[in-house]
Amino acid sequence: MYSYIFILILATVNVFSEFTSEDCQSLGFNRANLLCSTCDQFSKYNLSELENNCQECCLKEEDSSSKRYPRAVLEVCTCKFGAYPQIQAFIKSDRPNKHKNLEIKYVRGLDPMIKLYDHDNKLEDILDITKWDTDDVEEFLQTHLMRD
């Protein structure tokens, strides 16, 4: 009897909990660039448990399109500019100057990413931007970064 109650409690906690980036990483999902439409593919192969975990880790379009962040940091290593010329082009252009709450930070050995922060300067999300071109970066910042 107690084992059934314990299992029920675990299932309830699991349903109402939200996965952190670390949880998603341990499950094999990259929360930074996982779209929910990708998770829908698991149902075709009867992988419902995997689909449920994926849904906890994915970027929901309705959430991501409406949320605006007060601060963003674009982090990259200058040694990676050769591999990511589109990011170099964005940084060296006048585009970053259009966003007063965008900081460019050079971190040794790091692939390009954007870190998004809330009003309390708490890290909210990390986005892998290695596949983005200059227009993608600009569009994202215009859409998701608060204007002064």
More confident residue, 85 or 23: 85
SS3 state at 144:
helix
What is the residue extent of each domain of the chain?
2-62, 67-144
Eight-class DSSP state of 32: T
The answer to whether residue 5 scores a pLDDT higher than 60 is no
Is the Cβ–Cβ distance between 116 and 103 less than 8 Å?
no
Is the Cβ–Cβ distance between 93 and 134 less than 8 Å?
yes
| Digit-coded pLDDT (tens) for 11-70 | 444 455 577 878 888 888 887 677 777 788 888 888 888 889 888 888 775 554 568 899
The pTM score is 0.58
CATH superfamily of 67-144: Sep15/SelM thioredoxin-like domain, active-site redox motif (3.40.30.50)
